[in-house]
Amino acid sequence: MVPFSVNNRTAIITGSTRGIGEATARRLAEANASVVVSGRAAEDGKRVADSIRADGGEAVFVRADMREPDDIESLVKAAVDEFGGLDILVNNAGYETETSPEEVDIETWNGIVETDFRAYWLTAKHAYPYLVESDFAAVVNMSSNHSFATQPKKFPYNAVKAGIDGMTRSMAVAWGVDGIRVNSVNPGWTMVGRIEESLTDEELSELERIHPLGRIGTPKDVADAVLYLASDMASFVTGECHVVDGGRTAVLQDDLYLDDHGLE
């Protein structure tokens, strides 16, 4: 088996105190990267970093609020000071609201745009001088399948995720000459804590029925995609959107799909 190694590389994973970010930090550490766990919740972040170290990996926690530009700059500096350089940046921090365009107020708009979008650019901007020095530089931006198809009450999360895919292409084109690869990962339904808490058994069963692979994703499914894009196995992949949704985005119409398979 060919290993997806990121041995002796340093990775920052924003928003990695839980969920997909935590799974990604653990997955990269398992593949021998030194990881910088980051987020606002210090207790959770320290728990993740301590757990990674207990399993034999290298990890530190650096508290950072991604709405604060000074915190972002300090996060990158702390990673370089701790491990001597930077090779991998995973922009993952973000949140969503159940709002439609006419419902969103300016505070909600600013919060999501600053956390889910501006922070991706700003973290990459501060990471750039160190990534240029790496022989293995990779940026992975966490997007969503909502950038392709969406729901009425996912604004402005869906707009921002489409913007992230555009940002990914822009960075890939601008920084390819520097040897920096930039890609997006676009998860679909993923069993993170808030989803697990909100779904009834009946709702989960219905979601599983409308996914071609018969289930929704796990944080590890997404983390595996990040590891691939961060590793040498993807050395000629840049500017791409990597959908991880069990085939959900490929379904044109649920009732026809279910009828064709006799699942109605």
Q: Look up 157 and say whether it is catalytic.
A: yes
**pTM metric for this prediction:** 0.93
Candidate list 130, 157, 228, 257, residue with the active-site label: 157
β-partners of residue 62 are 38
pLDDT for position 4:
78
Task: Give the model confidence (pLDDT) of 174-220 as tens digits.
Answer: 999 999 999 999 999 897 877 777 788 888 888 889 899 999 899 99
- Which of 261, 253, 192 has its CA nearest to residue 22? 192
CATH number for region 10-196+219-250: 3.40.50.720
pLDDT for position 164:
97
Domain regions of the chain by residue span: 10-196+219-250
pLDDT for position 258:
67
Measured CA to CA, the distance from residue 60 to residue 77 in angstroms comes to 13
